[in-house]
């Protein structure tokens, strides 16, 4: 039996990338259906090779999963890399913070990568650093266009499976193509046009970069919805708020209208960023509205 990783699944076929850098087209044997387990992109699997020339095989075994993301539906993701531009376009902080909450909820570490550093001033970079200082996310500044800071991105990706997200125009394709040229067809303008025009279901797909290193494009990034949660739980996904929560007078404080709130005090003292707090309030409203309807 050979070991490999499912990098794509379409129409009952699973494409398994092995350590020898070969891709086998495999079918899942009945055992999985009986167990109720559906193989997922990202699964580490054992395959039986049927035809070495045709590169076909059978999925025999799914190794235990480290985790399973719901959106995108993929197994064994180690981290997320979210890309925004420092400028042109200006970062959409609400979208960025939505993504951070979504990943925190799914217990996946996020690295924030601000691209187009060449178009920014020192003050702008410091401001971005300050906003995300209290979050557990590492913040990187790069210029994919000018190949600046790319070693740091490479280092972060190495040996891991990373889901890469970002709105259009920020230089995500440029960055991915620098790291993984074989992914270029999927990340450029063409795939976006196909997506828009035909409403095709976007399949999750991993791209092999180097040994044990895979990248995945995160579909549906621009229309992120918060996961199902109680409004009281939202704050759990803002790690920059956590140190100040014990200073709230009321248990279950939502840090909104309540008096003697540790978060609002930290905000007034500049220990929490105004931007992050605004994102929190907007998400809180989103959760309250959801309740009403
Ligand atoms: P995507 O929509 O996020 O995939 O963005 P693209 O990779 O297509 O890039 C959008 C535009 O930004 C293109 O015109 C790129 O040439 C430009 N771009 C990408 N990276 C950089 C960068 O680091 N600096 C500057 N100034 N422009 C960049």
Provide the CATH number for the domain around residue 151.
3.40.50.300
> What is the pLDDT, as a whole number, of residue 239?
97
Q: Which of 183, 217, 251 is the last residue of a domain?
A: 217
**Residue 173 annotated as part of some ligand binding site:** yes
In a domain, 51, yes or no: yes
Q: Are residues 239 and 277 in the same domain?
A: yes
Q: How many CB atoms lie within 10 A of CB 1?
A: 11
List the residue whose alpha carbon is closest to atom 25 of ligand 1: 116
3-state secondary structure 52-102: CCCCEEEEEEECCCCCEECCCCEECCCEEEEEEECCCCCCCHHHHHHHHHH
62 - beta bridge partners? 45
**Residue 223 annotated as part of some ligand binding site:** no
Q: Are residues 21 and 109 in the same domain?
A: no
> What is the pLDDT, as a whole number, of residue 217?
84
pLDDT exceeds 60 at position 187: no
Kindly state if the Cβ of 118 falls inside 6 Å of ligand 1: yes
pLDDT exceeds 90 at position 58: yes
Provide the CATH number for the domain around residue 267.
1.10.40.50
What are the tens digits of pLDDT across the range 77-88? 999 999 999 999
Q: Are residues 122 and 195 in the same domain?
A: yes
> What is the pLDDT, as a whole number, of residue 90?
96
3-state secondary structure of 132: coil
Q: Are residues 213 and 240 in the same domain?
A: no
Q: Are residues 45 and 167 in the same domain?
A: no
Q: Are residues 60 and 78 in the same domain?
A: no
What are the tens digits of pLDDT across the range 17-51? 999 999 999 999 876 777 778 899 999 999 999 99
Q: Which domain holds residue 272?
A: 231-292
In a domain, 15, yes or no: yes
List the residue whose alpha carbon is closest to atom 26 of ligand 1: 116
> What is the pLDDT, as a whole number, of residue 201?
47
> What is the pLDDT, as a whole number, of residue 231?
95
Q: How far apart are CA 77 and CA 269, in angstroms?
A: 37
To test the pocket of ligand 1, the residue of 82, 171, 222 to mutate (highest count of ligand atoms within 8 Å of its CB) is 171
In a domain, 225, yes or no: no
Q: Looking at the 3D structure of the chain, how many domains does it have?
A: 3
Burial of residue 276 (CB within 10 Å: 0-12, 13-18, 19+) is buried
> What is the pLDDT, as a whole number, of residue 203?
72
To test the pocket of ligand 1, the residue of 113, 174, 178 to mutate (highest count of ligand atoms within 8 Å of its CB) is 174
Specify the DSSP class assigned to residue 238.
-
In a domain, 138, yes or no: yes
Q: Are residues 189 and 73 in the same domain?
A: yes
Q: How far apart are CA 144 and CA 81, in angstroms?
A: 14
Strands 109-115 and 138-141: parallel
What are the tens digits of pLDDT across the range 110-162? 999 999 999 999 999 999 999 999 999 999 999 999 999 999 999 999 999 99
pLDDT exceeds 90 at position 188: no
Q: What is the average pLDDT across 200-218?
A: 84
In a domain, 172, yes or no: yes
> What is the pLDDT, as a whole number, of residue 161?
97
CB contact at 8 A, 166 and 82: yes
Q: Are residues 274 and 201 in the same domain?
A: no
Q: How far apart are CA 83 and CA 142, in angstroms?
A: 10
Q: How far is the CA of 273 from the centre of ligand 1 (A)?
A: 28
The vertex-196 CA angle with 193 and 202, nearest 5°, equals 95
Burial of residue 222 (CB within 10 Å: 0-12, 13-18, 19+) is exposed
Q: What is the average pLDDT across 174-178?
A: 92
Q: How far apart are CA 132 and CA 111, in angstroms?
A: 11
> What is the pLDDT, as a whole number, of residue 293?
64
Kindly state if the Cβ of 91 falls inside 6 Å of ligand 1: no
Higher per-residue pLDDT: 72 or 208: 208
Instruction: Please state, rounded to an integer, the average pLDDT across all residues of the chain.
Output: 90
The vertex-227 CA angle with 226 and 228, nearest 5°, equals 120
Burial of residue 200 (CB within 10 Å: 0-12, 13-18, 19+) is exposed
The sheet carrying 79-85 orders its strands as: 138-141, 109-115, 79-85, 161-165, 213-217, 206-210
CB contact at 8 A, 76 and 44: yes
pLDDT band, residue 202 (cuts 50/70/90): low
> What is the pLDDT, as a whole number, of residue 113?
98
Q: Are residues 129 and 264 in the same domain?
A: no
Kindly state if the Cβ of 170 falls inside 6 Å of ligand 1: yes
Q: Are residues 168 and 210 in the same domain?
A: yes
Least confident range of 181-185, 220-224, 261-265: 181-185
Q: Are residues 211 and 107 in the same domain?
A: yes
pLDDT exceeds 50 at position 197: no
Kindly state if the Cβ of 98 falls inside 6 Å of ligand 1: no
What are the tens digits of pLDDT across the range 230-251? 999 999 999 999 999 999 999 9
Q: Which of 160, 185, 217 is the last residue of a domain?
A: 217
Q: Are residues 50 and 129 in the same domain?
A: no
């Amino acid at each position: 039996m050979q070991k490999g990783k499912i990098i794509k699944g379409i129409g009952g076929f699973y494409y398994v990338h092995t350590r020898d850098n070969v891709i086998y087209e495999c079918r899942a044997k009945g055992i999985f259906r009986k167990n109720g387990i559906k193989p997922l992109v990202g699964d580490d699997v054992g395959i039986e090779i049927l035809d070495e020339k045709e590169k076909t095989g059978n999925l025999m075994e799914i190794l235990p999963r480290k985790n399973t993301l719901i959106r995108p539906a993929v197994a064994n993701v180690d981290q997320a890399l979210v890309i925004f531009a420092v400028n042109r376009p200006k970062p959409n902080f609400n979208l960025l913070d939505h993504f951070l909450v979504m990943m925190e909820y799914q217990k996946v570490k996020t690295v924030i990568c601000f691209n187009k550093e060449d178009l920014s001033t020192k003050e702008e970079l410091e401001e971005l650093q300050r906003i995300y200082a209290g979050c557990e996310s590492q913040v990187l500044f790069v210029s994919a266009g000018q190949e600046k800071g790319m070693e740091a991105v490479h280092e972060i990706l190495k040996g891991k499976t990373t889901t890469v997200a970002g709105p259009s125009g920020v230089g995500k394709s440029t960055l991915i193509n620098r790291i993984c040229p074989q992914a270029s067809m999927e990340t450029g303008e063409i795939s976006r046009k196909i997506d828009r025009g035909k409403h095709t279901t976007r399949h999750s797909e991993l791209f092999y970069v180097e040994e044990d290193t895979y990248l995945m494009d995160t579909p549906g990034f621009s229309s992120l919805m918060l996961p199902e949660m109680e409004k009281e739980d939202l704050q759990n996904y803002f790690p920059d708020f956590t140190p100040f929560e014990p200073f709230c007078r009321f248990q279950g404080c939502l840090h909104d209208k309540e008096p003697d709130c540790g978060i609002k005090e930290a905000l007034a003292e500049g220990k929490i960023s105004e931007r992050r707090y605004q994102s929190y309030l907007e998400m809180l409203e989103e959760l309250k509205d959801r309740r009403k309807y």
